[in-house]
Structure 1
Amino acid sequence: MRDLSLRTVTVMRYILPLREGGSLPALAEADDDFKYVLKFRGGGHGVKMLISELLGGKIAEVLGLKIPELVFANLDVDFGRTEADEEIQDLLKFSEGLNLALHFLSGAIAYDASVKVDPLLASKIVWLDAFITNIDRTHKNTNLLMWNKELWVIDNGASFYFHHSWMNFEKLALSPFAYVKDHVLLSQATLLDEADAFAKAVLNSEILRGIVELIPDDWLRWNDTDETPEQIREVYFTFMKTRLENSANFVKEAQNARG
């Protein structure tokens, strides 16, 4: 089985907030001397957003899509006490412990929807977002970057939205994902059947289980459920396994939306 593991870094320096993100991510430097886009557990959707980023990012990686390296990022208890901005100071205080970060792509520019993309690549990205139920890859907010003349996938935090209500996940796993109609690459996704066949050839229960096992226990102790971390992981696994087995539901929806 392929290595799915993430490195762990310690955040050493808060550089600046990236205020275009709803959860107020930041540019930060870690103890490996690399810069990262840091996603905070103390942000708006808390650890559930981090879980979405982690699961969506690793699935994208398995599908062979370009995505900045994901790392676990430790935030020390004393970090940010000298921050002058009270909003940011509170965010850092409530984010003590393990967070998630993506390698910063210096010089990358936001994807312009008028730029042509390889049809199979476009189809794979549309497939990914329909699979993980990502509602946030639209013309308004593409969450795609151009870097070194290649298309990179970022920001999967608006995925797996079933976990915000934590109800009817079996039904939602079978949903066709109507939001695909708003996807920025849908018009260029002319090879969805081929993307589906590819995804089903590289994703399987073993890989999905391995990805789910990456979620730290610390991110799975929720106030709104009595379920254990193991039980919550099982829900995520079952959701993805069911969705993969029934991918025809969302592939057909995407094809109909294109039509």
Structure 2
Amino acid sequence: MATASGALRTVTATQYVQPLRSGGSVPGIVEADDLGTYVVKFTGSAQGRKALVAEVIVGELARRLGLRVPELVLVRFDPDVARNEPHEEVQDLLHASAGLNLGMDYLPGAVDFTPGTLDVTPSEAAAILWLDAFTANVDRTTHSPNLVTWPPAGHHRPRLWLIDHGAALVFHHRWHTAADAVGKAYDVRHHALGHGRSELAAADAAFGPLVTERLLREVVSAVPDAWLTGEPGFASTQEVRDAYVAHLTARARDSARWLPPATP
């Protein structure tokens, strides 16, 4: 898991197992030198490095708030380990992704969450809904919940796990208008766990005080410099980190403006 300082472990890919074509980014299953297996999201994908920045910040924030997120690691990737991959488009993606990429611990037998596959209490639903509202995650819908249940039924009681946060932190795609988004209300109408609205006030009371500037600096520090360099309007990667912290700190203090109401 991430260290106390916020750093993620770094592993080296030793074998490219297969691509996953369920999403537009075409992540891949990769084995690494720590004997672990990871779902890797690549810097060369169409979503680009900002999707990986969002994955790290939101995933590590969720973990520190007590939500279940598979371990995130940085993956050193040499395209030569996938030299036998037959698909030209996938090869192009892999060759564009040499260097550091993001891996998520592979959960064997995990099942995509759909209503009815697991009884999610209103309090657990509210915790996830609060996180998504805070981070402006637009991709936790009934059609694309980005939630899985694991372990498989019959082993231990399945639990809900959060995956795929690359669509969160939408403000960082337009830094010049980010200040206007600090208090932007969250649209909950199509959220996969909308029944958690009834417990949102309790989730806000529990989580709001935990999201301090210190905690945010810790999770933002887990993002590699390489994914923050060259950001227009910023003189250094530290300035970019400070901008993430400032925006999220301000949003945490302004939940009355963006938190969805308890009832429709």
Taking structure 2 as the reference length, what is the TM-score of the superposition? 0.91
1:15 is matched with: 17
| Offset of residue 174 of structure 1 | 1.5
Query: Could you list the runs of 5+ residues in structure 2 that have no partner in the other structure?
Result: 152-157
Residue 161 in structure 1 maps to residue 166 in structure 2? no
2:159 is matched with: 150
The 3-state SS of whatever aligns with 2:219 is helix
Work out the CA distance in 1 between the residues paired with 2:71 and 2:93.
Answer: 23
Q: Deviations over 1:53-80 (max 9, x none)?
A: 0001011101100110000111125343
- Alignment partner for residue 140 of structure 1, among 139, 143, 161? 143
Give % identity: 38
| Offset of residue 177 of structure 1 | 2.0
Q: Deviations over 1:16-40 (max 9, x none)?
A: 1111111111111111111111010
Work out the CA distance in 2 between the residues paired with 1:81 and 1:227.
Answer: 38
Which amino acid counterpart does residue 43 of structure 1 have in structure 2? S
Q: Is the 8 A contact 2:231 2:240 kept in 1?
A: no
1:182 is matched with: 190
Taking structure 1 as the reference length, what is the TM-score of the superposition? 0.93
Q: Which moved more, 1:61-70 or 1:209-218?
A: 209-218
Q: Deviations over 1:189-244 (max 9, x none)?
A: 32101101111232211010111122111111236455321111111111110110
Q: Give RMSD over aligned pairs.
A: 1.7
Q: Is the 8 A contact 1:79 1:92 kept in 2?
A: no
Q: Deviations over 1:60-102 (max 9, x none)?
A: 1011001100001111253434432111111111111111110
- Alignment partner for residue 130 of structure 1, among 109, 130, 133? 133
Extract structure 1 runs of 4+ deviating beyond 3 A: 222-227
Query: Could you list the runs of 5+ residues in structure 1 that have no partner in the other structure?
Result: none
- Alignment partner for residue 45 of structure 1, among 47, 50, 55? 47
1:71 is matched with: 73
The 3-state SS of whatever aligns with 1:58 is helix
Work out the CA distance in 2 between the residues paired with 1:224 and 1:22.
Answer: 26
Work out the CA distance in 2 between the residues paired with 1:196 and 1:13.
Answer: 43
Give 1:1-259 correspondences, 5 Å limit: 2-76=4-78, 78-114=80-116, 115-148=118-151, 149-178=158-187, 180-222=188-230, 224-251=232-259, 254-255=260-261, 258-259=263-264
Question: Relative to 1, partners in 2 of residues 1:192 and 1:226: Cα closer, same or farther, differing over 3 Å?
Answer: closer
